[in-house]
Amino acid sequence: MPAAIRLTGANKLGVFLAGLKGELADASRRGQNKMAYTLMQAEREQLRSDVDSPTPWSVQSILYKPADSNALKIGASRILVPGIEGAGVFLVDRFSMERADERHPIGVQIRGGEGFQPTAFESVLQQRGIIPRDHVYVPARNVRLDRYGNIPGAQISAMLSHLGLNQYGVVAPESRQFAFFPKPTAGVVGGELVRRYAKGVLAKIGDDWVPYIYFVPNPGTYRSRFDFYGRADREIETHFRGILDWYVTKALQKSAGS
């Protein structure tokens, strides 16, 4: 299900006026555009409030479409949204430059994590039996992240080398700067395979070993944290009629004066 809010369905008056000709139809479009822009800003504010330190990249993945356009704009680029009338607010995937659904990382925050796909790093650990199939990693506090809110790929590759898991080369045990805690093990007890999974990874800083990442149950049990649709309902209920009324009044005054 695409994460989107269509304003044409939010207010019957807006739908009615959008079908009229002339200045009232133009007033409806202007009102929808103003509401959509206001809602986009409100949703970005809500994301900052609900989610811990979202990156600018994530915040700017929430865009609005004017009522008289069939595309979302990202700088000089356009994402087509054909067949959708009226203004609206949408979540986009800025990597694929397409509309995003609720499997998108921000979409997971909206809906919760059912069906969330593991990263390549998590898949390696799951396949090696180091973490359970339903676990993912979470960076510890103060770990440096890239602009997208992830541990940089070069750092992941280096960490795999220090953990003895990088297919392109590993670091000698006595020189390693990363280690699992506790050390994952597997053995047969009473004829059954029993595993002890790692709970995280430690990084060596000077003479100390400090938490670098933790392994936690995956977002299948992840609660919804971003009140995307709730904020939309509140904003539309509070502002849309007043915005539309302002533009319609101006159109009627202009028509009466002509």
Residue ranges per domain, the chain?
4-114+223-257, 136-217
Q: Band of the pLDDT at 20, cuts 50, 70, 90?
A: low
CB atoms within 10 A of CB 257: 6
Look up residue 173 and give its two tokens: 């045990």
Look up residue 152 and give its two tokens: 């940089």
Q: How far apart are CA 206 and CA 223, in angstroms?
A: 37
Q: Band of the pLDDT at 243, cuts 50, 70, 90?
A: very high
- Nearest-Å Rg of the Cα atoms of the chain is 25
Lowest mean pLDDT among 13-22, 84-93, 186-195, 247-256: 13-22
Coil, helix or strand at residue 38: helix
The closest alpha carbon to 108, from 17, 220, 238, belongs to 220
Q: What is the pLDDT of residues 141-194, one digit of tens each?
A: 878 887 767 788 888 899 999 998 887 788 888 899 999 999 888 787 777 777
Query: What percentage of the chain has pLDDT greater than the value 90?
Result: 25
Q: Band of the pLDDT at 211, cuts 50, 70, 90?
A: very high
3-state secondary structure 138-180: EECCCCCCCCCCCCCHHHHHHHHHHCCCCCCCCCCHHHCCEEE
Considering the chain, what is the average pLDDT of its residues?
82
Look up residue 78 and give its two tokens: 């356009």
As a whole number, mean pLDDT of residues 116-136 equals 83
Listed in order, strand segments (DSSP E) in 171-239 are 178-181, 185-189, 192-196, 200-205, 208-217
Coil, helix or strand at residue 254: helix
pTM of the predicted protein model: 0.56
CB atoms within 10 A of CB 15: 16
Report which of residues 178 and 8 the model is more confident about.
178
182: Cα separation from own chain's centroid: 31
Query: What percentage of the chain has pLDDT greater than the value 70?
Result: 85
Report which of residues 193 and 87 the model is more confident about.
87
Coil, helix or strand at residue 89: strand
H-only helix segments in 94-240: 105-111, 120-127, 153-162, 228-235
Given a cut of 60, whether residue 1 has pLDDT beyond it is no
Angle at 157 between CA 57 and CA 215, to 5 degrees: 75
